[in-house]
Structure 1
């Protein structure tokens, strides 16, 4: 596959903005006086522009994920990464994407913002892709297929065989959103990144790494795709404070892994305890840090829990999710309060 054939014509000829720190990269040198970027010269820790390529963060991610730096792009949250993909590869009013509801809602929002048609193919009743139906929707202008695995809001991972078939047969980009992969027993598709030139994997530091507040999203793809996205990203899209906090957290991998173990243990306990709630009809399998359940009346139960000071997510308006509620796995104390409230209502 020639990735350049998928790129918008105006993006192919785009000359990217060259920032001061792109032109002179050794911004950490103590021997240099920097009078090139019109910064305030008085040192306060953030008076200088941040590294536009976030090299220190990428060094750590490269080591942790066993992926070369040239295959990594960072964004102001995964949403910016996804938006960059739209803007690089989808021609407004002409191209289309394919999404598989119920899924992460930002795919359709970004399609609307970028004036791109969103073709939808519902998942099966057990939340797996319908491969044959997907290809019935594909046409010559189908640029991107979005797969959220583990899936939000259902919580399950997609069949490896189905995903592999889609990767091999789809003549566009396949974006696998792995925001929740750290909580799954399934292997990340990062291990097979080099097999598929059309594969893009997005991850985040918002979930397992506990950094939702700093908004840092990660994109893994071929060097060719990363270069295209780098050409159109804002020059300083990830601020200095975000980079510092990410570095601090990525240097504590053992601590993060321990938190993941605890969350998974709490999840397993929650799954067992929810079986005792009589108005819960179905507890769906999950590879995430949340649990989706089907109840008798989702809106009623949601409002009852709100009155008891517990905020969950009512997913009943989503396809295949009528009368479902989504519980994030909290601390042991938070989960006990949730279960107690469920028993009382």
Structure 2
């Protein structure tokens, strides 16, 4: 039997993860899903309970699972905690332990949500982008890092952007392989005009393309131009390949194309045969935590990605995506989508669509 570890985390994480658990239970009772589900504290919740954002037990449980689905981490409650044990450090530590180097962030605009986007309908209709973000390298992990006091008493903050050939190649392979199953186009984003790491990125991607993926159309674009093009003509992109920092920023921007960041799921994958890490990218949203108004669809769509990519349940994944689409077609809308229903009611709508489908 396959295993799924839930890490609800902080803020709205427990609320949206609860809806994932309800969907899993329905699929087990009515659609033949055989899945063992466990749960562990993570992020700020783990700091409160255990003094660290990621315990050894939670890490080991993640590594022993077939898939891990987390809710969100962080919030002002832990802003005064030392950086090394902040909730976000637990997330970075989990990604490192699981060696999930490729972050897949699909950006789609459901027909029912075309008017929810801040962009014109003709710009986002039919949108289908896959952002592939390198996840375990770059400026978030590079050394040296820190804040130092200079001789004159002023302070200097240091973050180091570092990439190796191997790190770039493995995530680029993921992007090219995905493109072959989609529109067969990859756009690689960096800042090769001002950053040596960006120049290396462009050179390595170009060389790999020439060696192994000449059948895939490859283009290069400076990351700041990508930011502009995402709101000007987003449908020009099929697979968008980026480093860790630019992928973080650009995928959040892309959230507005789908109508709400509450619609964006993600998968973080490593080598074949290793567990995948799945999460909605909306963050902990502490301003609405505990109010029962958060949109659970990104978390539910993250479950669909887990079913497809880690749990060998592609048919159930497709059925779940269809149920989300049907729920939206039926008018189900949380506040971020311009509606009035709450988190649980949106979960009810998806489950009702599953039952009807």
What range is the shorter-chain TM-score in? under 0.3
Relative to the length of structure 2, the TM-score reads 0.27
Report which of the two has the higher share of helix. 2
Q: Normalising by structure 1, report the TM-score.
A: 0.27
Question: Could you say which structure has the larger radius of gyration?
Answer: 1
